[in-house]
């Protein structure tokens, strides 16, 4: 089975520029590359920060692009998004009984769970999973039984050694960890938010993140001028079978032929 992971597309209204790049152009090129080379993917996940400024126009632009994308897409929200505004545009997007943007997708042999880690309130960038969201997660995890289960979340529940990001991670990680302990077969957790490629093993659970499609976080603050940098964007091509999980981090804009000398 193949699926695609994309994160932090940060669209702006009017398809304008942001931090020196054009996020809508990056997303168009990403979708074109996936369509051309990975049209056999079963689904695609965009793990939050769909918009930069939580503008209705940005969500409408995303909706239009996805109507032309042949692969079904699961959408999650991040700290830059507005839950109500997102749901007013994506009216059929699944949510839990408390209207959080959480859902699960089950195939014959696997379960995929998409979480909403956005903290309530305007201009709040750290993450939370309140009691209601954790209760929902607990139910999903228990219902998944022995089936291999994969989680997706925007904020990571740990520090990654970049202070800028560590200050706005998911807090309440003890409660999250305790909820995970109800799972019998959690295979991997995909996350976004940090705008970098990472692999993390935390309390025995493995995690991976992706670069943004638009702008990246420098590993060392001050190693480049400005808050963000222009390292290559990537999408993840995830291959799963009974015994293996493989993630290809695909730097789709940098695939160029070698120059022969
Ligand atoms: Fe982001």
Q: What is the pLDDT of residues 179-190, one digit of tens each?
A: 999 999 999 999
Residue 223 has pLDDT above 80, yes or no: yes
What is the model's pLDDT at position 217? 95
Distance separating alpha carbons of residues 239 and 89, to the nearest angstrom: 31
Distance 193 CA to ligand 1 centre (A): 5
Q: From CA 236, how far away is CA 104, in angstroms rounded?
A: 20
Report CA(79)–ligand 1 centroid distance (Å): 7
The domain ranges of the chain are 2-254
Ligand 1 centroid–CA 258 distance in Å is: 32
Q: What percent of the chain shows pLDDT beyond 70?
A: 99
Task: Give the torsion sign (CA, 31, 32, 37, 39).
Answer: positive
Using left for φ > 0, alpha for ψ between -120 and 50, and beta otherwise, residue 163 falls in alpha
Query: Which pLDDT score is estimated for 261?
Result: 65
Cα gap 96→109, rounded to integer Å: 23
Q: How confident is the model at residue 123 (pLDDT cuts 50, 70, 90)?
A: confident
pLDDT (tens digit, 9 = 90+) per residue, 5-55?
Answer: 999 999 999 999 999 999 999 999 999 999 999 999 999 999 999 999 999
- Centre a 10 Å sphere on the Cβ of residue 223 and count the other Cβ atoms it contains: 8
Query: How many Å lie between the centroid of ligand 1 and the Cα of residue 16?
Result: 17
**SS3 for 32?**
helix
Judged against a pLDDT cut of 90, whether residue 195 lies above it is answered with yes
Averaged pLDDT, 142-154: 97
Q: How many angstroms is it from 146 CA to the middle of ligand 1?
A: 33
Distance 250 CA to ligand 1 centre (A): 18
Domain 2-254 class, CATH top level: alpha beta
Q: How far does residue 54's CA lie from ligand 1's centre (Å)? A: 12
pTM, two decimal places: 0.97
The mean pLDDT of 112-128, rounded to a whole number, is: 94
Rounded to the nearest angstrom, the distance between the alpha carbon of 226 and the centre of ligand 1 is 16
Distance 142 CA to ligand 1 centre (A): 30
Distance 145 CA to ligand 1 centre (A): 32
Backbone conformation region of residue 19, classed left if phi is above 0, alpha if psi is from -120 to 50, else beta: left
What is the Å distance from ligand 1's center to 261 Cα? Answer: 40
- Please state, in angstroms and rounded to a whole number, the distance separating the CA atoms of residues 247 and 204: 18
Q: How far is the centre of ligand 1, averaged over its atoms, from the C-alpha of 149 (Å)?
A: 25
Contact criterion met (CB below 8 Å) for 196 and 166 = no
**Cα of 49 from ligand 1 centre, angstroms:** 5
Cα of 240 vs centre of ligand 1, distance in Å, is: 26
Q: Is the pLDDT score of 260 beyond 80? A: no
Give me the mean pLDDT over the 166-179 stretch: 97
CB of 199 closer than 8 Å to CB of 208: yes
């Amino acid at each position: 089975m193949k699926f695609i992971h994309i994160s932090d597309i940060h669209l702006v209204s009017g398809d304008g520029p942001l931090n020196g790049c054009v996020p809508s152009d990056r997303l168009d090129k990403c979708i074109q590359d996936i369509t051309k080379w990975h049209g056999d993917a079963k689904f695609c996940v965009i793990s939050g920060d769909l918009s930069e400024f939580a503008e209705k126009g940005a969500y409408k632009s995303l909706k239009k692009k996805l109507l032309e994308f042949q692969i079904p897409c699961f959408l999650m929200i991040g700290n830059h998004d507005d839950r109500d505004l997102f749901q007013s545009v994506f009216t059929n997007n699944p949510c839990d009984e408390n209207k959080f943007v959480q859902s699960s997708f089950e195939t014959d042999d696997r379960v995929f769970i998409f979480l909403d880690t956005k903290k309530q309130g305007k201009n709040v960038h750290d993450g939370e999973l309140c009691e209601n969201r954790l209760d929902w997660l607990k139910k999903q995890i228990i219902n998944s039984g022995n089936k291999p289960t994969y989680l997706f979340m925007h904020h990571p529940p740990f520090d990654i050694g970049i202070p800028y990001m560590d200050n706005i991670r998911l807090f309440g990680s003890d409660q999250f960890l305790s909820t995970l302990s109800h799972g019998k077969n959690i295979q991997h957790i995909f996350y976004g938010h940090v705008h970098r490629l990472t692999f993390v093993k935390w309390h025995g659970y493995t995690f991976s993140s992706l670069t943004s499609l638009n702008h990246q976080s420098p590993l060392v603050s001050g190693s480049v001028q400005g808050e963000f940098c222009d390292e290559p964007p990537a999408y993840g091509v995830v291959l799963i079978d009974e015994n293996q999980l493989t993630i290809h981090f695909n730097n789709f804009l940098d695939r160029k032929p070698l120059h022969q000398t």
